[in-house]
Structure 1
Amino acid sequence: MTGNITPLIGIDLGTSNSALAWFHDGESQLIAGAEGERLTPSVVGLDDDGHILVGAAAKARLVSHPHLTVASFKRYMGTDKTWTLGTRRFRAEELSALVLRKLKADAEVAFGHEVTRAVITVPAYFNDVQRKAVKAAGQLAGLQVERLLNEPTAAALAYGLADNREQKFLIFDLGGGTFDVSIVDMFEGVIEVRASSGDAWLGGDDFTHALRQWMLSIHPVLSDSPPEQQARLTQLAEALKHQLSQQDVARAQMMHQGEELHWELNEETFGELAAGLLSRLKKPVVQALQDAQFDVGLLDHVILVGGATRMPIVRQLATRMFSRFPRNELNPDEVVALGAGVQAGLIADDHALEDIVLTDVMPYSLGVEVARRDGNRIDEGYFLPLIERNAFVPVSVVRTVSTLQDNQRQLDISVFQGEARRVSDNLLLDSIKIDIPPRKAGEVNLDVRFTYTLDGILEVECKIQGENTASTLIIEKAPGSLSEEEIAVRLSQLNELKQHPRDVPANRLLLAQASARYEQTLGERRQLIDHYVSQFERALESQDLRQIAAARDGLSQLLNQFDDGM
């Protein structure tokens, strides 16, 4: 998989697992990690020596060392919530950046050279703050994020290429932490997302939590158990959920203070425990169908995406809602990464994708705060949408607002995201103050233009009618987001984290290059490479920085000599 041109990679940054892919030889292909795994658990932790662990190694310590391990942090992207690992506190962006760094390193080992550009998927219903947080995580990981791609749109790309014909389908995407629905219309090589909806706080983790609460109700004595047993209880709840995907009855047991505790769960009981969650799955589906002006009967297919759709109670719900069996022939854990790989190929102008066009939509409405006059009273705090949800992107819309008071000298333009008629129930993104000439009420008109790009950047332009100047506000940072200065500081801190030398990307890359050259050579050269690689591996295990530097230089020089001689 080596070559001279560094490809764009597509990354599915998931709540439970993450994966990466690239577009090669006319198809999207998953890139396996160092141990051959296609899925990387989105888990970060510390080992007993304080080294950072990411992926399967960290997940293995979730139960034994819960105080040194963190999972399911994706939901908190763009918030101020932090987790403590050792002596440091981490935001969700930083934890996600560590996962992205591992994926980046895995890609570099596979390709044999540095990878710097990526497409990263996000839940369709992630708001502007959360999307900016994902971009910040990519930046902290050393990646240039070329595009944020909605997860159901990624799935549509994967299925669209696999089944290239005119069709209409609904993507039902239930992951570990989020739920998304998208209505997709595919015709003549165009993959058009007609509408998206979802719930950013509904996922497989919530079903696990419901089971965990039920387990505590059966054995309340566990409520005050130590952290290790609490973590074990969560693991057992997850195991019960997985068992019910394979069999009619699930069983679990654990020891507590010398007593063996038992649980037995059938699908009917699970359905009752999860009734509220199943009900919440219906609302975004109805909303998306209404926004797309689609009747269920117009759909050719319903496609299940996300590991949580393996639960029989979820598949049964989807079957009842749509009066048909949903499709799931592509691995629901991998399909989003495969779609991200297709998007990477589209951006890279891969010739195999010349006839494919993708359109996407806004998941939220964007607008400004306005006031209304009611007789002599001015009532403030109303939301005036400029770009409504499910508008195709990129999009540019202009609306005109006027003054309400005589001799006003300033207009405050506050930009909000949401669907509520009152701005107090929506998300404030930013604001700008515009100086205006003092005139009678209604005589000063301001044209407000919103332009939303494919990169998720909102530009607000305000221009007083009759004047040549305009004020522009670029919404790139929102409340809860990291500033460029904060990103620089946190990047420096992440770079100082204690890593085992064998996991340092530069060392992994050098070993991969040496392995590739070993396969290409024969005789004495092959033996020489083996000798220097063995020395380097021993130095890495010693963790002696001087030994590592000397062995690394020796191996690098040897490989360079071979390169010069070929």
Structure 2
Amino acid sequence: MAENISPIIGIDLGTSNSAVTCFSQGQPQLINGAQGERLTPSVVGLDDMGNVLVGEAAKARLVSHPHLSIASFKRYMGTDKTFTLGDRQFRAEELSALVLRKLKADAEVALGCSVTRAAITVPAYFNDSQRKAVKAAGQLAGLEVERLLNEPTAASLAYGLADNNEQKFLVFDLGGGTFDVSIVDMFEGVIEVRASSGDAWLGGDDFTEAIRQWMMTLYPVLPSDNPTLLAELTYLAEDLKYQLSIQDLALAQLTYAGQEFSWELSSELFSECCSGLLSRLKKPVVQALQDAQFDANELDHVILVGGATRMPIVRQLATRMFGRFPRNELNPDEVVALGAGIQAGLIAEDRALDDIVLTDVMPYSLGIEVARRHGEKIEEGYFSPLIERNAFVPVSIVESFSTLHDNQSRIDIAVYQGEARRVSDNLLLDSMSISVPQRKAGEVSVDVRFTYTLDGILEVQCNISGEAATSTMIVEKAPGSLSPQEIAERLKQLDSLKQHPRDVPANRQLLAEAGLRYEQTLGERRQMIDHYTGLFEQALNRQDTRAIVTARDVLRQVLDQLDDGM
């Protein structure tokens, strides 16, 4: 029986490139494609006969046939966005499935057997719907996805196996479309991820786009609605970026509509064009260090992962931030795939990995919507986190909630993912409704238990106090984008606040700062911010000028004290 079990492969499904690995002879090993390539471009296209092209063949036609080639679709996993390819519409999951199918075929040729099981990496900051989309892509490709592994965690595995020493390190993972940061503590064979943060909309593609925008700014005569021209400019921008990785000055030329255009881009000007992007790289680093309760000086190493970290301006930023040269001895384009291969070996219980233990964390907080009583008024829409971000997984936590109304007959349990105080600013995952005995407000309580597994499955259990029956929900709904009706409703809500004290700039700014600080903190500090922000909001809702000033001053003092204590 054992010989017939399908081998498990590890897959790095990247924005720019993808790779497949297996674990063999005590090491992760990259599997080459049919042409000997180690990396497969994450590009899908059609040839002139309508046949599907995947990888290098599709990438070669991005400039010449932009209407028949699609790249950088990973960012749209878990959304309703569709892509036109010929006369067909594709979701990002379907395009990713075509890439996965090629990697699966390459592995089957190399291993000489059918492959149906895989561990696939995802950005640490992918939300629940994006992760479910990756699983769906795997299923469409004929793969049973045994585990979704965070990309920086995969890199940690690769470095941990190569350098098995007690150490603390930060993984700085900048790929083509996403940016992730993880703080890792390694000791006695245990690889413990302490905290993760990131930006799912920041990657090498954005640096390329910044160059392309600069190119068009120099020559306003170039039209911005010509797909072929835009594809050519993107190609040139990518080449300029590559040139600057090996020299200080980059040149590009283009002939269009009988005219000659040329560009000269220096490293200094490139840095200026990307100043906003470079600033965005700092925030997740600070957030991860704060959540892990680490000081940058405690880190033994900073590890660069992802092809975009080849840019000198990114390496220089990392060096300045940490006061040391980062490590990049393992190929940054391949290290995540190698880690996926090690994860495949762990799942298969390979004896070479008996001494390796991996722990990971939740990238987001999970909780439910609650209502709060303010005197005689009940206000809905608050977020009550049960599992806070960076909790170790698997995890199971239970909290008790009570009814707010007399003779209340039902309790609605709406599950959200995010960090904001208000559920409207978080991601709705799913909901359920349970019947409760009709009694006075507060006399009926419900225990809500969240259980989150290593496979990324969230189970919600609800028990009414004093009753044996249990209501259970497995969260598997993938939320899409806002409907036009929901957008219209939110616009109405904003319009209704135009003459409200909440719109006073000083009040609005303080609420925004408090909300941001709430997202950045955990435990007692988060509860303190929540309490005093609530008091300030109550004063604003009463439109009592004196109470507003008092509550605002108190909240300001609380935030300043927290700053002093950090």
TM-score tier, shorter chain, comes to 0.7 to 0.9
Q: How do residues 276-355 of structure 1 correspond to structure 2 at under 5 angstroms? A: 276-355=276-355
Q: CA deviation at 1:133?
A: 0.2
Equivalent residue, structure 2, for 1:492? none
Q: Is 2:410 the counterpart of 1:427?
A: no
SS at structure 2 position matched to 1:220: coil
- Percent identity between matched residues is 78
Q: How do residues 118-517 of structure 1 correspond to structure 2 at under 5 angstroms? A: 118-224=118-224, 226-480=226-480
Supply the distance in 2 between the matched residues of 1:270 and 1:220 (Cα, whole angstroms): 19
Q: CA deviation at 1:228?
A: 1.5
Which structure ranks higher in relative contact order (CA pairs < 8 Å, sequence separation ≥ 6)? 1
Q: CA deviation at 1:350?
A: 0.3
SS at structure 2 position matched to 1:192: strand
Equivalent residue, structure 1, for 2:73? 73
Structure 1 residues 327-365: Cα deviation after superposition (integer angstroms, max 9, x where no partner): 000000000000000000000000000000000000000
Supply the distance in 2 between the matched residues of 1:458 and 1:405 (Cα, whole angstroms): 29
**Is the CA contact 2:75–2:200 (under 8 Å) kept in the aligned structure 1?**
yes
Structure 1 residues 455-509: Cα deviation after superposition (integer angstroms, max 9, x where no partner): 000000000010000100100222139xxxxxxxxxxxxxxxxxxxxxxxxxxxx
Structure 1 residues 410-467: Cα deviation after superposition (integer angstroms, max 9, x where no partner): 0000000000000000000000001000000000000000000000000000000100
**Is the CA contact 2:184–2:195 (under 8 Å) kept in the aligned structure 1?**
yes
* Paired residue type of 1:46: L
Q: CA deviation at 1:219?
A: 1.3
Supply the distance in 1 between the matched residues of 2:251 and 2:123 (Cα, whole angstroms): 33
**Is the CA contact 2:398–2:450 (under 8 Å) kept in the aligned structure 1?**
yes
Structure 1 residues 244-275: Cα deviation after superposition (integer angstroms, max 9, x where no partner): 00001000001012222100001100100000
Q: CA deviation at 1:224?
A: 4.2
Supply the distance in 1 between the matched residues of 2:167 and 2:456 (Cα, whole angstroms): 28
Q: CA deviation at 1:7?
A: 1.8
Q: CA deviation at 1:122?
A: 0.1
* Paired residue type of 1:159: Y
Structure 1 gap segments, 5+ residues each: 482-566
Supply the distance in 2 between the matched residues of 1:471 and 1:414 (Cα, whole angstroms): 14
Structure 1 residues 259-301: Cα deviation after superposition (integer angstroms, max 9, x where no partner): 2210000110010000000000000000000000000010000
* Paired residue type of 1:443: E
Supply the distance in 2 between the matched residues of 1:91 and 1:41 (Cα, whole angstroms): 18
Q: CA deviation at 1:222?
A: 1.6
SS at structure 2 position matched to 1:466: coil
Structure 1 residues 511-554: Cα deviation after superposition (integer angstroms, max 9, x where no partner): xxxxxxxxxxxxxxxxxxxxxxxxxxxxxxxxxxxxxxxxxxxx
Task: Name the CA shift for 1:224/1:291 in 2 (closer, same or farther; >3 Å).
Answer: closer
User: For this pair of structures, how many residues does the alignment match?
Assistant: 479
Q: How do residues 6-155 of structure 1 correspond to structure 2 at under 5 angstroms? A: 6-155=6-155
Supply the distance in 1 between the matched residues of 2:221 and 2:156 (Cα, whole angstroms): 47
Supply the distance in 1 between the matched residues of 2:301 and 2:365 (Cα, whole angstroms): 28
Supply the distance in 1 between the matched residues of 2:257 and 2:455 (Cα, whole angstroms): 55
* Paired residue type of 1:202: L
SS at structure 2 position matched to 1:120: strand
Segments ≥4 residues shifted beyond 3 Å: 3-6
Q: CA deviation at 1:221?
A: 1.7
Equivalent residue, structure 2, for 1:504? none
Q: CA deviation at 1:226?
A: 3.1
Supply the distance in 2 between the matched residues of 1:152 and 1:371 (Cα, whole angstroms): 37
Supply the distance in 1 between the matched residues of 2:226 and 2:356 (Cα, whole angstroms): 54
* Paired residue type of 1:17: N
Structure 1 residues 167-223: Cα deviation after superposition (integer angstroms, max 9, x where no partner): 000000000000000000000000000000000000000000000000001112222
Supply the distance in 1 between the matched residues of 2:472 and 2:9 (Cα, whole angstroms): 34
Structure 1 residues 25-46: Cα deviation after superposition (integer angstroms, max 9, x where no partner): 0000000000000000000000
Q: CA deviation at 1:225?
A: 6.3
Supply the distance in 1 between the matched residues of 2:5 and 2:410 (Cα, whole angstroms): 53
Supply the distance in 2 between the matched residues of 1:24 and 1:476 (Cα, whole angstroms): 34
Supply the distance in 2 between the matched residues of 1:4 and 1:222 (Cα, whole angstroms): 60
* Paired residue type of 2:115: V
* Paired residue type of 2:44: V
Supply the distance in 2 between the matched residues of 1:224 and 1:373 (Cα, whole angstroms): 53
Structure 2 gap segments, 5+ residues each: 482-566
**Is the CA contact 2:412–2:434 (under 8 Å) kept in the aligned structure 1?**
yes
SS at structure 2 position matched to 1:223: coil
Equivalent residue, structure 2, for 1:526? none
Q: CA deviation at 1:165?
A: 0.6
Supply the distance in 2 between the matched residues of 1:259 and 1:404 (Cα, whole angstroms): 72
Supply the distance in 1 between the matched residues of 2:377 and 2:109 (Cα, whole angstroms): 67
* Paired residue type of 1:72: S
**RMSD, aligned CA:** 1.0
Supply the distance in 1 between the matched residues of 2:80 and 2:358 (Cα, whole angstroms): 34
Supply the distance in 2 between the matched residues of 1:260 and 1:306 (Cα, whole angstroms): 35
Supply the distance in 1 between the matched residues of 2:386 and 2:80 (Cα, whole angstroms): 29
SS at structure 1 position matched to 2:222: helix
